[in-house]
Amino acid sequence: MECIQAKEPNTFDGSKPQKLDEFLFQCHLYFNTNPSQFTTEHAKVSFAMTFLKGPAQQHFQMVLQVEYDWDIISWFQDFQLFADKLHKNFGALDHETEAVEELEHLHMGHNWTITKYNVEFS
């Protein structure tokens, strides 16, 4: 049986909230295609944190630099809590307003295929 080689997640810096769900989805795909590497929630969080940069990295780095016993940090031991923390601090504040704005600015670019337009639309 062939192994599926998943691409590592893109980096996430927190500047584009609409990219957060994409980042988390890419992490989940990587976890699912490499289950032997991610036998603990802590391993998943640690892996995902290596793809943070800028303000997103700095947010978590500040906490970890102050707290020496990382075992007591709940989000460091649970990927869903980590994802929730990312959403709280770097996710879209108002999904409905953001979606309306994206739709208002959506247009079919020059030389786009209908498939690319549909991907942008969704």
Residue 1 has pLDDT above 80, yes or no: no
Indicate the DSSP class of residue 110.
T
Q: Which pLDDT belongs to residue 107?
A: 67
Q: What SS3 state is found at 52?
A: strand
- Expressed in angstroms, the distance from the first to the final Cα of the chain is 34
Q: How much of the chain is helix, strand and coil, in % rounded to 5?
A: 65, 0, 35
Residue 95 has pLDDT above 90, yes or no: no
pTM listed for this prediction: 0.74
14: how many CB neighbours lie within 10 A of its CB?
20
Structural domain spans, the chain: 8-91, 94-122
Q: List, for residues 24-75, the tens digit of each pLDDT value.
A: 999 999 999 999 999 999 999 999 999 999 999 999 999 888 877 777 889 9
